[in-house]
């Protein structure tokens, strides 16, 4: 393949990945790595580096709007970033000690779990009536956000448990070069009892900072190849912006499940390639 064909193909794949990521809510980075490795035979380390760059771009782009609209809770984000950044650095170090095959299998498992979460479609929220905990009160983590019907006040509970899970989310983000937004939302929405909209907006805001903590290490190790990272970044950004525009006009419930099923197929492919040592 020559450079023209390569960058055009990568760009196109990344638009689709960004679109899929936005429509499923999984984020573009998680789809782009298997696409590059499985379809184009790109070394997984380059794919991870490029994916992480696109994750930082998408997060910054989306968070700009969320922050302006007051949906992201900056206090919660800063507090939890203590955990995710340290986790991300640990993850990036672990990645260099982990064989690509094992990374591929782990990637597949995380992808499969995320797809399953989408298919299940968030039935229960356990934490609606949890009381505010002492740490959350001390850090004044609660806040308000605006709904069409008025302003809603919310409190935060189980800050320590959420903080712990955020460290894990950081490790996985650093290890696999993804935003691990799904895990961040679980920590905030299910454990800390933060309203879903605030959780997703705050997660998206945090992903950029978490991503940079490991991207800086990846960059020094040569994972960030400009000729791959650029079309991936532009493509995923364009795809996810398009996805966000289309979202209100599409039958989301059905689409989400169809796409999640597609992601599950990719995940299984990734696991089987990892087991057979083809990556």
Sites of contact with other proteins (CB under 8 A):
1-4, 6-7, 40-43, 45-46, 53, 56-57, 59-61, 63-65, 67-70, 74-75, 78-79, 81-82, 85-86, 88-89, 92, 138-139, 144, 146, 148, 150-151, 208-209, 211-217, 219-222, 224-231, 233-234, 237
Helices (H), 139-195: 159-176, 181-185
For residues 110 and 129, give the distance between their C-alpha atoms in angstroms, rounded to a whole number.
30
Q: Which of 169, 212 has the CB closer to other proteins?
A: 212
Measured from the CB of residue 10, what is the shortest distance to other proteins in angstroms?
10
Closest CB to other proteins among residues 75, 257: 75
Q: How far is the CB of 233 from other proteins (least distance, A)?
A: 7
DSSP run (H or E) holding 247: none
3-state secondary structure 3-38: HHHHHHHHHHHHHHHHHHHHHHCCCCHHHHHHHHHH
**Paired residues of 146 in beta bridges:** 151
Q: Least distance from C-beta 194 to other proteins, angstroms?
A: 17
Nearest approach, Cβ of 88 to other proteins (angstroms)?
8
Minimum distance between the CB of residue 254 and other proteins, rounded to whole angstroms? 29
Nearer to other proteins, 7 or 200 (CB): 7
Which one, 35 or 263, has the nearer CB to other proteins? 35
20's CB contacts (< 8 A; 6+ apart) are: 26, 28, 31, 239, 243, 259, 262, 263
Interacting residues of 253 by C-beta distance below 8 A, sequence separation 6+: 121
């Amino acid at each position: 393949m020559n450079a023209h064909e390569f960058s055009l193909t990568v760009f196109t794949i990344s638009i689709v990945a960004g679109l899929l990521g936005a429509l499923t809510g999984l984020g573009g980075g998680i789809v782009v790595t298997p696409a590059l490795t499985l379809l184009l035979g790109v070394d997984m380390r380059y794919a991870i580096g490029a994916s992480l760059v696109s994750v930082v771009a998408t997060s910054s782009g989306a968070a700009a709007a969320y922050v302006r609209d007051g949906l992201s809770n900056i206090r919660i984000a800063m507090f939890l970033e203590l955990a995710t950044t340290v986790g991300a650095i640990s993850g990036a170090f672990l990645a260099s000690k982990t064989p690509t095959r094992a990374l591929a299998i782990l990637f597949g498992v995380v992808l499969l779990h995320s797809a399953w979460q989408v298919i299940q479609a968030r039935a229960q929220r356990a934490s609606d009536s949890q009381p505010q905990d002492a740490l959350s009160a001390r850090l004044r983590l609660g806040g308000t956000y605006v709904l069409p019907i008025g302003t809603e006040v919310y409190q935060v509970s189980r800050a320590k448990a959420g903080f712990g899970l955020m460290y894990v989310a950081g490790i996985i983000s650093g290890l696999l070069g993804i935003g691990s937004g799904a895990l961040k939302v679980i920590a905030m929405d299910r454990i800390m009892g933060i309203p879903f909209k605030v959780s997703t907006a705050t997660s998206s805001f945090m992903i950029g900072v978490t991503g940079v903590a490991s991207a800086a290490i990846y960059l020094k190790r040569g994972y960030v190849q400009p000729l791959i990272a650029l079309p991936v970044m532009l493509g995923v950004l364009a795809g996810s912006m398009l996805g966000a525009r289309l979202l209100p006009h599409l039958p989301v419930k059905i689409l989400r499940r169809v796409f999640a099923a597609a992601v599950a197929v990719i995940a299984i492919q990734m696991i089987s390639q990892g087991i057979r040592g083809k990556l």
